[in-house]
Amino acid sequence: MRLKEKVIIITGSTMGIGKAIALRCAREGARVVINGLEENLGEELVTEIGKEQAVAHIEDLTSDGAAQRLVDCALKKYGKLDGLVNNAAMVASSNIHTTDLEFLENIFQVNTYAPFQLIKSALPYLSKTDGSVLNIGSVNAWSGEPDLLAYSMSKGALMTMTRNLGDTLMREEGIRVNQINPGWVLTEKEIERKRAQNLDENWYTQLPETYAPAGRILQPEEIASAAVYWLSDECGPVSGQVMELEQYPLIGRNPPKDETTIPKREE
């Protein structure tokens, strides 16, 4: 087992990528702390993994003191901390015209400030175990889609923090800090978002080659497989790195000339 007896906090893990990471970490021998907003989903996941190997702490990470309470949960249950996965995120459409400072602040509170505060709270304990921080970003950190301005800004800031802390914390504390930037992933929320945008019910089975050269988009389990490497001892001293997980190059891509759109539902 690649994560045997490691204790790992995974935020936003009641569904989607976070849930897939929690399940995969547990299969690799880790004891996991589940976090999210949905108490019923959190308890269901704890039952699925097993109560000796998982515990749930359901709380909004933007609440005062939430980061420390989440770390304390791990320490109370398991007595130590080996890894932190900052996966929780708010994805909301916005552009320069629809983004005001309040909206921008709300996005940054979840996507950037909460991971920062969690790293600070976990720092004293991760330093004792030569632990690992894994931030889950987005390929949108590099520029972003036209209607994901605030989200893209927040993920860009997260990526800079990863590289900065990946350098300083390795030298000062022996803690690795790395990041995965997933591309388009087929999560439950992504399915809901696209249906809300009036796309066909089976939109993910009718993707043009522009968006999905492989004929499909990524599964959460494929992101989870990569997460295990960064949380395990296999990556050695590697720190401050960002891994892109997408099915085409982000720079220097040659998209097909016959670009098409994803089918809309018929009214």
List residues with catalytic annotation.
151
What is the distance between the alpha carbons of residues 188 and 181, in angstroms, rounded to a whole number? 18
What values do phi and psi take at 196, rounded to 5? -65, -25
Q: Name the residue among 52, 4, 19 with its Cα closest to residue 188.
A: 19
- Output Rg (C-alpha) for the chain, integer angstroms: 18
What is the distance between the alpha carbons of residues 147 and 77, in angstroms, rounded to a whole number? 42
- Determine contact, residues 83/231, Cβ cutoff 8 Å: yes
- Determine contact, residues 90/37, Cβ cutoff 8 Å: no
Q: How many other C-beta atoms are found inside a 10 Å radius of the C-beta of residue 172?
A: 11
Q: Name the residue among 163, 164, 176 with its Cα closest to residue 83.
A: 176
C-alpha distances in Å from residue 117, one per residue of 9, 129, 189, 190, 199: 14, 19, 25, 27, 37
115 token code pair = 């991971």
